[in-house]
A = this chain, B = another copy of it.
Amino acid sequence: MNIVILGSGNVATHLGRAFKLAGQNISQVWSRDITHASTLADTLASEPIDNMFDLDRSADLFMIAVNDEAIRELALELKLSDQLLVHTSGSTGLSALEATSTKIGVFYPLQTFSKIKSVDFRQIPIIIEANTPELLTTIRAIADRLSEKVIELNSEQRKTLHVAAVFACNFTNHLFGLAKELLDEKGLDYGLLKPLIEETLSKIETNEPAFIQTGPAIREDQVTIQAHLELLKNNPALSDLYTKLSQSIVNLHKRSQGLV
């Protein structure tokens, strides 16, 4: 199978590697910046291109892996007709590809990628969607070569999964970043939090998060909450976030207990 990858960022890079490892041929890598295209293409024994005249329209699969806001426009630029075209976005509807080809789908790997770190693709859920049952079968077969967890969801379900992932992954990472900044400012070692972070993660492996919530907010311990806000008073954005998250903990608790 010949695959053309459109994009050269983290998702394009990791998908390219995974396909290569699975024995597929990446015939071309496209990017608006030929340097970026070349960097990735070199690692995949592929041809870098930066314009659509050079596009190999005979490829079996065209995979768009660019920022969400660029997907629709890029799809139109491709000027395909009945070639298989997929995007790799969590929050973009299948419909973004409708004007482009008669065979369209979604191939969304649910993972956070960074170029410096490799991942075991076999364990990454790949969320698929297509505009016909036959095409879904085709896309599933392609996804099965990369991952043990291939799941069909419609666009609405996939968007929900993506926003949940933002809460569980992006926002979580940010909280670690805020914690580190707080400690750095006082010359304290961020490494002190490591056992705590590991235990927090270990607990949710086997427990529902809302049921194992700890801390001052769930105890409605106003003395501690006020002491923390006093400590954060020089950073209004951070103390506001503290208050909002504490309130959200109380509210989720009530919802999970069926109290509201």
Contact = CB atoms under 8 A, between A and B. Distances in A.
Contacts of A141: none
Contacts of A91: 216, 224, 227-228
Given A174-B249, A217-B170, A219-B67, A195 B123 contact: yes
B228 A192 contact: no
A164 B151 contact: no
A169 interface: yes
- Top 10 nearest A-B pairs (CB, nearest first) are A170-B215, A177-B209, A168-B179, A69-B223, A176-B209, A164-B179, A177-B210, A167-B179, A164-B182, A163-B228
9 contacts: A68-B224, A92-B227, A163-B232, A164-B182, A168-B197, A172-B175, A173-B200, A173-B203, A174-B217
Interface of A: 10, 67-69, 89, 91-92, 110-114, 117, 119, 123-125, 149, 151, 153, 156-157, 159-183, 185-186, 188, 192-193, 195-201, 203-204, 208-210, 212-219, 221-224, 227-228, 231-232, 237-238, 240-242, 244-245, 247-249, 251-252, 255-256
Given A69-B222, A112-B200, A177-B208, 12 more contacts: A111-B195, A125-B195, A159-B228, A159-B231, A164-B180, A164-B188, A167-B182, A169-B214, A170-B214, A171-B175, A176-B209, A241-B244
